[in-house]
Chains A and B, each alone.
Chain A
Amino acid sequence: MSEINPDGGISLRFLLDRYSRIMILAIIVAFMAATKPDAFWTMNNLSAVAFQQAPFMILMSFGMTLAIITKGIDKSMGSVLVLSSVIGAGFVKNGQFLAGIGLALAVGVACGFVSGILITRVGVAPFIATYGVEWVTLGLAFVLTGNVYIYDFPQEFREIATGRIFGLVPNLALITLAIFLILHFTMGKTIFGRKVYMVGNNFNAATLSGVNARKTVTMVYIVNGLLAAITGILYMARLNAADPGISAAFTLDSIAASLIGGTSFGGGKGSISGTIVGALIIVFIRNGMNIWGVHTTWQQTAVGFVIIFSIFLEATTQKLTAFATRRRRGGE
């Protein structure tokens, strides 16, 4: 657990923080299961949502969560996804999988590095720096593709996203799980993870206490670029096309998932596991509303409500903690 819990013990705030999102998810799933058992509560549907639709949003949201923990934001992730995938796509289509994937990952890392340097060395605000990178990368993607979609990849490549290991576990789920474990361990158990939270809490204090804050932040944006590129490759394999039109949706979805997952824009607070729950909430809302036959435009409204509710929850728990702390101090 990577939360900093100032009270030492298990407080009400801690419990609310930890489980309120899972409660929301459980309520959504239970409601759907009760009302549409035949269509929703089937192995087929649940696995399609969890293992085919959610992983992309989860992977992107991981990166967004890291950026927001450092008190930043990464507006460029969706466009970096697009640029890295269209650059890799040409090679993949010709059967040069390793070259294509390697190049895509390199592009992701390079874009992240540029954002990181702009933020930490040039001193541009994260929103503006990544916003700039977003425009440049998306523009380059359009130029490079000559506005033509790259469509239909070899089946062997598509197996990355559509295949199953031993015909049972979907590859996508496995890849997502592996990345989750790495990030969860890094954020919770390593010095680097500690540094990320410290930098987010107070950049200057972290610097004064000997943390190389600039390097830490730059690293976070490099990781984001890498995650965007990985998502791009997987998405290309799933959609069977490199599509420049998907960038905006990805960025906004991942910000929403991070917020719903309890990551605070104040910096220094948030968790990778919370983000998974946030992403699942969004994906299940969409799936549920499709199954209910609700017009897709309402999904946006519904997700918006959940975001507002999460922020409301956040504020309430903060007040509760303050209240509890005061009472305890008063009683001493």
Chain B
Amino acid sequence: MRKWFPLAACMALLAVYSVSAADPGVEGKAVTMILKNFTNPFFITVKEGGEAAAKEFGIDLTVLAPLKADNNEEQTHMVEQAIVSGADLVIMCPSDTMGIIPAMEKLEEAEIPVINLNTRIGGDRKLAKTFVAIENFECGYESVTRLAKMMGGKGDFIILEGVSGAQTSIDRVKGAHAALAKFPDIKLVAQQPADYNRAKAMDVTQNLLQAHPNVRGIYCCNDEMALGAVEAIAAANKTGQIFVGGSDGNADALKAIRDGKMAMTCHTDPFNQGYQSVVAAAMALRGEELPDLFRVNIKVIGKEDL
């Protein structure tokens, strides 16, 4: 029941929006969406989702991301630029949950409403109208539960974290630990950050496999790292012996799952995250009351689901 309620809620909300779409109060409004980077396919899909919704509402949407991936400095400049160029609303997906606060305060001062997307803006004060995101804890929990079942509930296990301090990674890892607690015969032998980066994950996994040759499962906080781990496993001639789980559900990962190299991923529905953030933006522009959380649903995908 807990799983289906948000879905039903989302669908109900969607039904409401589709009736009121493309109304004059929203049409032609300038919205700036600031993402973490354009190097991860995840955010490209978020962008596409946002653009699709913007088209339906007739919103003038600009999507930006730092050239140097995940750079807080550049994101801050983008916010300042949005203020100067007279944006009506900013959709913010912060790379640095705390570092972005000063920029958010500037938006507040300029009385430009903010929709928070994907990663929560830090601090104690409510700086955004609403938060559009998946529940990352649930994502880690469901993924690792599935992986653990594939492993037959026993064996050595590794977790690859994202960028140190990234809230998405922290929450997914918490969920992963909660799932591991249900399987006493699975031993967490190592947990290392690989910065959400494919190349780094490959080296880290290669090194960890030396220290822990009996690893049977690896949970990575995104698909990029999972694909790096897959290559390290192939280099060690262990393809098929280790269950690799990722998160995001990007095209390369789905292909790897189809090829039997990866065990599963958690589809975090980036398209819908982007789409819903623009829906929330439209509601805010109309002056409607928003719930604190716009929840986007996840779906665990294994080979049998493709």
A, B: real partners = yes
Residues of A bordering B, CB below 8 Å: 36, 39-40, 42, 44-45, 48-49, 52-53, 135, 138-139, 142, 147-149, 151-152, 162, 235, 238-241, 243-246, 248-249, 286-287, 290-291, 293, 295-297
| Residues in B lying within 8 Å of A, measured CB to CB | 37-41, 44, 67-69, 164, 190, 192-195, 197-200, 202-204, 206-208, 210-212, 227-228, 231, 235-236, 252, 255
- The residue of chain A having its C-beta at the shortest distance from the C-beta of B206 within the complex is A48
**Smallest CB separation, A149 vs chain B (Å):** 6
Instruction: State how many angstroms separate the Cβ of B209 from the closest Cβ of chain A.
Output: 9
Say yes or no: B210 contacts A245, CB within 8 Å.
Answer: no
Asked whether B192 lies within 8 Å of A290 as measured between CB atoms, the reply is: yes
Minimum CB–CB distance for A327 against chain B, Å: 48
A239 contacts across to B, CB distance below 8 A:
198-199, 202, 228, 231
Q: How far does the Cβ of B304 sit from chain A's closest Cβ, in whole Å?
A: 22
A51 CB to nearest B CB, Å:
11
Q: Which residues from A are CB-within-8-Å of B199?
A: 235, 239, 243, 245-246, 249
Q: List 8 A-B contacts (CB under 8 A).
A: A152-B252, A238-B235, A240-B231, A243-B39, A243-B198, A245-B39, A245-B198, A249-B199
Could you tell me if A293 and B190 are in contact, using CB atoms closer than 8 angstroms? Answer: yes
Closest to B255 in A: A152
Which residue, of B69, B164, B227, has the highest number of chain A Cβ atoms within 10 A?
A: B227
Say whether, besides A162-B235, A238-B231, A39 and B210 are in contact (CB < 8 Å): yes
Q: Which residues of B contact A45 (CB under 8 A)?
A: 207, 210
Contacts of A238 in B (CB 8 A): 202, 231, 235
Q: Is B193 touching A290 in the complex (CB atoms < 8 A)?
A: no
- Cβ A296 vs Cβ B204 within 8 A: yes
- What residues of chain A lie closer than 8 Å to B202, measured between beta carbons? 238-239
A297 touches B255 (CB 8 A): no
How distant is the Cα of A238 from the Cα of B206 in the complex, in angstroms?
A: 12
Chain A residues with Cβ below 8 Å from B227 are 151, 240-241
Q: How far is the CA of A40 from the CA of B67 in the complex (A)?
A: 38
The verdict on A245 contacting B211 (CB below 8 Å), with A53-B206, A147-B44 known, is no
- Contact between chains at B252 and A151 (CB < 8 Å): yes
The interface residues of chain A lying within 8 Å CB-to-CB of B236 are 48
Chain B residue, CB-CB nearest to A235 = B199
Residues of A within 8 A of B190 (CB): 293
Q: Which residues of A contact B204 (CB under 8 A)?
A: 290, 296
CB distance from B117 to the nearest CB of A (A): 18
Query: Which residue from chain B places its CB closest to the CB of A152 in the assembled complex?
Result: B255
Q: How far is the CB of A263 from chain B (nearest CB, A)?
A: 24
Query: For residue A139, which residues in chain B have a CB less than 8 angstroms away from its CB?
Result: 67
Q: Which residue from A36, A152, A248 sits with its C-beta under 8 Å from B211?
A: A36
**Once the chains bind, are B207 and A297 in contact (CB under 8 Å)?**
no
| Alpha-carbon separation in the docked complex, A149 to B199 (Å) | 13
Q: Specify which chain A residues have a CB less than 8 angstroms from the CB of B38 in the assembled complex.
A: 142, 147
Task: Give the shortest distance, in Å, between B202 (CB) and chain A (any CB).
Answer: 6
A295→B41 contact, CB < 8 A: no
> Are B208 and A290 in contact, CB atoms less than 8 angstroms apart?
yes
Q: Which 6 A-B pairs have the closest CB atoms?
A: A290-B207, A39-B211, A45-B210, A291-B211, A151-B252, A245-B39
Distance (whole angstroms) from the CB of B271 to the closest CB of chain A: 15
B residues in contact with A291, CB < 8 Å: 207-208, 210-211
Name B252's contact: one of A44, A147, A149, A290 (CB within 8 Å).
A149
Q: In the complex, which residue of chain A has the Cβ closest to the Cβ of B44?
A: A147
Distance between A166 CB and nearest chain B CB, rounded to angstroms:
18
Say which residue of A44, A138, A241 sits within 8 Å of B198 (CB atoms): A241
Q: Which partner residue on chain A sits nearest B38 by CB separation?
A: A147
Contact B68 A248 (CB under 8 A): yes
Q: How far is the CA of A26 from the CA of B208 in the complex (A)?
A: 22
CB-based contact B252/A241 at 8 Å = yes
Q: What is the distance, in angstroms, from A79's C-beta to the closest C-beta of chain B?
A: 11
Q: Are A297 and B211 in contact (CB under 8 A)?
A: no
- Bound-state Cα–Cα, A239 to B206, Å: 12
B44 touches A287 (CB 8 A): no
A297 / chain B contacts, CB cutoff of 8 Å:
164, 193
Instruction: Decide: B235 and A52 in contact? CB cutoff 8 A.
Output: yes
Residues of B contacting A48 in the complex (Cβ-Cβ under 8 angstroms): 206-207, 210, 235-236
Flag if B200 contacts A249 (CB, 8 Å).
yes
With CB as the reference atom, state the residue of chain A lying closest to B196: A245
Residues of A within 8 A of B255 (CB): 151-152
Given A52-B235, A239-B198, A239-B228, residue A148 in contact with residue B44 (CB < 8 A): yes
